[in-house]
Amino acid sequence: MNDDAVFELLSTVEDPDLGDDIVSLGLVNAVDADGDEVNVSLALGAPYAPHESKIANDVREVFAEEAPDIDLSISAGLPKSLGSDDEVLPNVKNIIAVASGKGGVGKSTVAVNLAAGLSQLGARVGLFDADIYGPNVPRMVKSNEGPEATEDKTLIPPERYGMKLMSMDFLVGEDDPVIWRGPMVHKILTQLVDDVDWGQLDYLVLDLPPGTGDTQLTVLQTLPLTGAVIVTTPQQVALDDAVKGLRMFGQHETPVLGIAENMSEFRCPDCGGRHDIFGSGGGRSLADDEDLPFLGAIPLDPAVRAGGDGGEPVVLDEGETADAFRTLTENVANNVGVIRRRHVQTVNSR
Ligand SMILES: Nc1ncnc2c1ncn2[C@@H]1O[C@H](COP(=O)(O)OP(=O)(O)OP(=O)(O)O)[C@@H](O)[C@H]1O
């Protein structure tokens, strides 16, 4: 088989999001056909995202049907020319910030379950609790041990549920009130990023503090974010604040991966009824109004709080709420993939 024949087969594989085939979109980095052996390198940027796995599977299927004798191997990754030349976190493929306009809407809960969900899919994940004023991620994953410091003062993050963890909570006592001024926020955040040995990661999930203050600004200015997930509850006050968060990311040209609606409906374990305690559908209509993806609705479920307090993310369980978190995780990963592939496509079509 020669390169042209390989390209012809590849051009029958459609991208599920971008509405064209992978060859026309420029998503084939390279083809190496040598007799019965064919290597294909695809420009995929969101490891374990279901839609990107589907693209790779579709390629395998086309070869299995049309050229069953070929020994096919597929590698995936962004072309080198597009790889980040950022000095900051060069071994981290994607950085996802989880943000909310308003406090208490479940942003940390979503960040923890998203990170655990990505890890459950098979990805290499880091979870960075950047909520310096109220770091509660360690409790939500029951991580009692802090990082270890090596001789050259690098911090080795502890691991829970396969995720590498870093939190302000490891550096200050749990009950110490933290009062940081702007420049200190900047210094501590850059240290937490630079001095930590994250290793190779597919996704680093950041739990930002609520609102649009110093920390958010510092993160936007210092970290090469892939995109942001905005968490809101369905009621109007939360939605109004979520819009402010959206605008902040817009001003810094950070893509928004979508809107997640938390504490959606309450499923009463006693009467079996469904109650909209904070209203309903607000997250979805915000997403529609802003022309952004809706990532999913997480029910108001006592198991979520118990999971948070008990240190076991609900996404790792069974049931409807766990399924809702899994759907959210998959949608986030798929949208990371869309951002990555669209970038490849744009650069290729220049
Ligand atoms: N879907 C849910 N069902 C039930 N309880 C929830 C749900 N989501 C979050 N909670 C609970 O609500 C509380 C607040 O959640 P969380 O700490 O994640 O919010 P936050 O937006 O990160 O808050 P902060 O503003 O302090 O950063 C926690 O006790 C959490 O367990």
Residue 317 tokens read as 């369980």
Q: Is 264 in the pocket of ligand 1 (CB under 6 A)?
A: no
- The answer to whether residues 228 and 242 touch, using CB atoms and an 8 Å cutoff, is no
Query: Using CA atoms, how far apart are residues 185 and 163, in angstroms rounded to an integer?
Result: 24
Binding residues: 101-108
Residue 23 main-chain phi, psi, to 5 deg: -75, -50
Ligand 1 atom at minimum distance from 264 CA: 1
Taking the centre of ligand 1 as the mean of its atom positions, its distance from the CA of residue 300, in whole angstroms, is 10
Query: Using CA atoms, how far apart are residues 92 and 193, in angstroms rounded to an integer?
Result: 11
Residue 339 tokens read as 């951002």
Asked if residue 338 belongs to a domain, the reply is no
Asked if residue 292 belongs to a domain, the reply is yes
Query: Are 77 and 124 within one domain?
Result: no
Residue 259 tokens read as 């809107």
**Number of structural domains the chain divides into:** 2
Query: Are 225 and 325 within one domain?
Result: yes
Binding residues for ATP: 101-108
Query: Are 76 and 101 within one domain?
Result: no
Asked if residue 335 belongs to a domain, the reply is no
The number of beta carbons lying within 10 Å of the beta carbon of residue 147 is 20
Taking the centre of ligand 1 as the mean of its atom positions, its distance from the CA of residue 216, in whole angstroms, is 19
- The answer to whether residues 45 and 34 touch, using CB atoms and an 8 Å cutoff, is no
Residue-wise burial string across 5-18, b where 16 or more C-beta atoms lie within 10 A, e elsewhere: ebeebbeebbbeeb
Domain final residue pick, 82, 100, 115: 82
**CA nearest ligand 1 atom 31, residue:** 305
Query: Are 59 and 120 within one domain?
Result: no
Ligand 1 atom at minimum distance from 302 CA: 4
Asked if residue 213 belongs to a domain, the reply is yes
CATH number for the domain that contains residue 21: 3.30.300.130
Going residue by residue through the chain (350 aa), what tens digit of pLDDT does each one get? 899 999 999 999 999 999 999 999 999 999 999 889 999 999 999 999 999 999 999 999 999 999 999 999 999 998 877 655 567 888 999 999 999 988 889 999 999 999 999 999 999 999 999 887 778 888 898 888 888 888 888 889 999 999 999 987 777 655 555 555 566 777 777 777 788 999 999 999 999 988 888 788 888 888 899 999 999 998 888 888 889 989 999 888 899 999 999 998 887 778 877 887 776 788 998 999 999 999 999 999 999 999 999 999 999 999 999 999 999 999 999 999 999 999 999 888 87
Q: Which range marks the domain in which residue 23 is found?
A: 3-82
Query: Are 326 and 188 within one domain?
Result: yes
Positive/negative CA dihedral, 193, 194, 197, 198: positive
Asked if residue 160 belongs to a domain, the reply is yes
Residue 78 tokens read as 């962004």
Taking the centre of ligand 1 as the mean of its atom positions, its distance from the CA of residue 108, in whole angstroms, is 7
Complex ipTM value: 0.98
Query: Are 271 and 150 within one domain?
Result: yes
For 82, which DSSP code?
Answer: G
Per-residue pLDDT, 85 = 58
Per-residue pLDDT, 95 = 95
Query: Are 217 and 313 within one domain?
Result: yes
Query: Are 115 and 32 within one domain?
Result: no
Asked if residue 163 belongs to a domain, the reply is yes
**One-letter identity of residue 135:** P
Taking the centre of ligand 1 as the mean of its atom positions, its distance from the CA of residue 104, in whole angstroms, is 5
Query: Are 109 and 210 within one domain?
Result: yes
Detail the DSSP E strand segments found in 184-255.
201-207, 227-232
Taking the centre of ligand 1 as the mean of its atom positions, its distance from the CA of residue 38, in whole angstroms, is 49
Per-residue pLDDT, 230 = 96
Instruction: Choose the residue to mutate in 298, 305, 312, 325 for probing ligand 1, maximizing ligand atoms within 8 Å of C-beta.
Output: 305
Query: Are 194 and 99 within one domain?
Result: yes
Nearest in space to 144 (alpha carbons), one of 304, 311, 315, 309: 311
